[in-house]
Amino acid sequence: MAFLGSAFRRVVSAVRPPLSPLCRTYARSYSSEPTKEKSVPYEKTLKQDDGASTGPTKPLPRSADVVVIGGGSLGCQTIYHLAKMGLTNVVLLERDRLTAGTTWHTAGLLWQLRPSDVEVELLAHTRNVISKDLEEETGLHTGWIQNGGLFIASNKQRLDEYKRLMSLGKVYGIESHVLSPAETKDLYPLMNIDDLYGTLYVPKDGTMDPAGTCTTLTRAASARGAVVIENCPVTGIKVQTDDLGVKRVKAVKTPHGTIETPCVVNCAGVWAPKLGEMAGVKVPLIAMHHAYVVTQRIEGIQNMPNVRDHDASVYLRLQGDALSVGGYEHNPIFWEEVSDKFAFSLFDLDWDVFMQHIEGAINRVPVLEQIGIKSTVCGPESFTADHKPLMGEAPEVRGFFLGCGFNSAGMMLGGGCGRELAHWIIHGRPEKDMYGYDIRRFHHSLTDNKDWIRERSHESYAKNYSVVFPFDEPLASRNMRKDPFHQPSVFSHLLFSYVKDYDYYGAYEVKKHVNYKYNELLGKEYTFDFPPHHDVVRDQCLSCRHSVAVFNMSYFGKFYLTGPDAKKAADWLFTADVNKKPGSTVYTCMLNKRGGVESDLTVSRLEPGAANLPLAPESIGDAYYLAIGGAVAEHNWNHIRTVLQDQGFHCQLTDHSEDMGMISIQGPKSREVLQEVLDTDLSNEAFPFSTHKVVNAAGRPVRAVRLSFVGELGWELHIPKDSCLPVYHAVMAAGTKHGIINSGYRAIDSLSIEKGYRHWHADLRPDDTPLEAGLAFTCKLKSSIQFQGRDRLQKQKEEGLRRRIVCFTIEEKVPMFGLEAIFRSGVPVGHLRRAEFGFFIDKTIGYGYIRNPDGGVVSADFIKSGEFTLERMGVTYKAKAHLKSPFDPENKRVKGIYT
């Protein structure tokens, strides 16, 4: 019998064989035969007893409203929620038996607390479905076990991270307790506490059983009319192009027949890329080996909570009277050639890779050194570039939805994500803010870039148990997209360091970088205190407030909307009236059908005329220039294109993001600087706020737009790529006598929150309306012009706001980053979405949405009459609520009025 302790000593003393870089997969690495019972960690699986496929378990219908492909956690949850929401003509196709791919061998852990409010809500729904809803509907037990969860902290930073989770959990009513080492020992007597700093205990965490869960889900779905068909592989996806040139799903092909359908949901896990290829859809995920071992019986382990020791990169899951031990290593094995004949199968465990987890496990529960190993479980899992799932409608084909890439968290996220997918399919949008999971978060140039997918997925896997810091940055896949200013001499300062190729943290015999200045620079920022460069950001912010600063905004998306129906499209797309005279620029929102904000952007109306690309498109009628935050440009592009298709507008949307750079010159001295560079009058009368012109800068044509995202007098210069450096150097030369400096995104974050400007996907999301976000001024509700989501806003305006955003400041100089709990008179009413330090007002500022605990309207009086506190890591601070930004509430500075 192998013991964990002896196995560890045996492996670390062995001479390690040479390994090919980035490749640890061999012909022996998996078995296509059904796994032997002794290797299965669960009492029950859903594999066939006879081991032979006998064809589809049910006849295929000729048509269906939706076909879900893949019978794992996500497929079963999605068809269950589709049926529960009333869509009964739905089919699930599984090529083998339910759970046969990756779900059957999952560890099945559910932790309720995550550093994301949306994920907390998704997990809560999964828990409710598994622990309550399904049993009430079917009378069957899913296998849910509520044994609690224990997060281990070996240092202060780790415990601070857990305290952040605890404070957020209070907003959602999730019970959790910070325990001392002695209290932890009382709870878990077998644990070594000698190196403990503290722990976070969540009593209602637990574990799920894949077979029980998926069986119950499909039985509940079938009772509502859904059809679940096993032993039916998909061999093709039929796609047709409609009269407008739009590709749409038409049918699913199998060896046993074809199902006509307008909608396919790809829940195929590690096989999702192959399914995507059938429809011409890119699915940016990669398959890796992911393993755990199951111990023999451990006396005294019964009823103990599951344990996550992040610093040791190991988890300990209660498995009856034993433990499952697993984690995330720095050198995971890539599954290079994904096999279609891999059902209820496992890889041989590579002990050389896996044993790095055992030392931490033995340290945490010393009795493990004397405990035998009952089984090893090493199966494939799908991983993505940012360790987040891939969901939503694919940009390439309408009606092709993704529900894959769950990074070994498909069981615990399945319920919440299955419900959101069902909403997405039926209503066109999910209920919650799912942008972090939306496939459209990735730029189209990256989703089939194998190097990017591999590097980023590896780093995300290797860092999965790292502390989640506010300013975390990846080392992988840097410099794959560069703007025109990407040179060492441009936008640099003393802290600048060159970025090197990714070293895989020294794995796969890739030489690890030593004395890597950029890595060291990033590492210093990993703190829950004010970061070391706090003073650098302060200097940049105050230079902007008192003199002038330059920001590189080249990452912005730059689109043109033209064509016969451009005006109709602009009226429908944008909440504000953008059809003012040519030369005007309007800040506006775009909404979904539920009135949620899909985007905020600026829209400049152009003069019709001949093409002068990239600064102006050809147009004989209405034309608009759209400038959109770069991180969300792909999302915006697809949102606009989808609306144009759905409404049948005859328009052209063209992307010139890569053809232009953009710098923003902001501050009281910006006019004086630019007047030396631009060949036009920059006075208030000649160049008012919210207008734009094509002018010459240093003899080169640029589009100058008088706007500000920091609350100061300033202009944006949208510059053809080849002219970027000459124009930039001219600006810097003219600004020398005014002390002009380069400023970064951290400064933008601070300056913008100080002014009260919203950041999309931070304090402005698809589940927030403009009215709730304090952006009613962007909505043309007083006009008769219809726009998408207007009906929802009008209804909300009539009924009153049940939630709204509020600005908070505190007197103590402590850092806040978002997720801090908001209390009104001692009752939790929300949490901060975003927080920064405002250097001009010298206070920490946070914005968050609050609710009335009674469910009533959140009025100005409700805010004014409340006594507010903010909880940061378990410590409360008295806060002042503001109905307007405490900085320049009369908006004088953007108009150039300085007193």
pLDDT of residue 48: 62
Q: List the beta bridge partners of residue 719.
A: 661
Mean pLDDT, rounded, for 301-326: 96
Using the predicted structure, report yes or no on whether residue 796 has a pLDDT greater than 80.
Answer: yes
Residue 859 in tokens:
């009025």
Task: Report the top-level CATH class of 550-749.
Answer: alpha beta
Using the predicted structure, report yes or no on whether residue 16 has a pLDDT greater than 70.
Answer: no
- Residue 227 has φ and ψ, to the nearest 5°, of -115, 125
Tell me the HSE value of 207 on the side-chain side, using a 13 A CA sphere. 23
Cα–Cα distance between 756 and 744 in angstroms, integer?
Answer: 18
Cα–Cα distance between 884 and 386 in angstroms, integer?
Answer: 36
Cα 81–chain centre separation: 22
| Mean pLDDT score of the chain | 93
Residue 309 in tokens:
């020791």
Residue 812 in tokens:
């103590």
Range with top average pLDDT, 22-26, 353-357, 495-499: 353-357
Q: What is the pTM of this model?
A: 0.94
Question: First and final CA of the chain: distance in angstroms?
Answer: 82
98: left (phi over 0), alpha (psi -120 to 50) or beta: beta
Using the predicted structure, report yes or no on whether residue 18 has a pLDDT greater than 90.
Answer: no
The three-class DSSP label of residue 120 is: helix
| pLDDT more than 90, % of the chain | 90
pLDDT of residue 758: 96
Using the predicted structure, report yes or no on whether residue 189 has a pLDDT greater than 70.
Answer: yes
Q: Which residues make Cβ contacts (< 8 Å) with residue 805, sequence separation at least 6? A: 763, 768, 772, 773, 774, 833, 847, 848, 849
In degrees, rounded to 5, the angle at the alpha carbon of residue 590 between the alpha carbons of residues 588 and 593 is: 145
Q: What is the pLDDT of residues 661-681, one digit of tens each?
A: 999 999 999 999 999 999 999
Q: What is the pLDDT of residues 587-603, one digit of tens each?
A: 999 999 999 999 999 99
In degrees, rounded to 5, the angle at the alpha carbon of residue 235 between the alpha carbons of residues 231 and 241 is: 135
Q: List the beta bridge partners of residue 832.
A: 848
Residue 18 preceded by cis peptide, ω within 30: no
pLDDT of residue 29: 34
857 or 498, greater pLDDT? 857
Q: What pLDDT band is residue 34 in, cutting at 50, 70 and 90? A: very low
The three-class DSSP label of residue 605 is: strand
Q: What is the pLDDT of residues 249-291, one digit of tens each?
A: 999 999 999 999 999 999 999 999 999 999 999 999 999 999 9
Mean pLDDT, rounded, for 78-89: 97
pLDDT of residue 497: 60
Using the predicted structure, report yes or no on whether residue 739 has a pLDDT greater than 60.
Answer: yes
Q: What is the pLDDT of residues 651-661, one digit of tens each?
A: 999 999 999 99
Q: What pLDDT band is residue 65 in, cutting at 50, 70 and 90? A: very high
pLDDT of residue 35: 43
Q: What pLDDT band is residue 22 in, cutting at 50, 70 and 90? A: very low
Q: What is the pLDDT of residues 507-538, one digit of tens each?
A: 999 999 999 988 998 899 999 999 999 999 99
Q: Are 725 and 702 in contact (CB under 8 A)?
A: no
Residue 502 in tokens:
């990714």
- Tell whether domain 66-104+211-284+386-437 is in CATH 3.50.50.60: yes
Domain coordinates of the chain in residue numbers? 66-104+211-284+386-437, 441-527, 550-749
Using the predicted structure, report yes or no on whether residue 158 has a pLDDT greater than 70.
Answer: yes
Residue 542 in tokens:
């105050």
Cα–Cα distance between 313 and 442 in angstroms, integer?
Answer: 28
Using the predicted structure, report yes or no on whether residue 40 has a pLDDT greater than 60.
Answer: no
Q: What pLDDT band is residue 53 in, cutting at 50, 70 and 90? A: low
Cα–Cα distance between 681 and 675 in angstroms, integer?
Answer: 7
DSSP 477: T
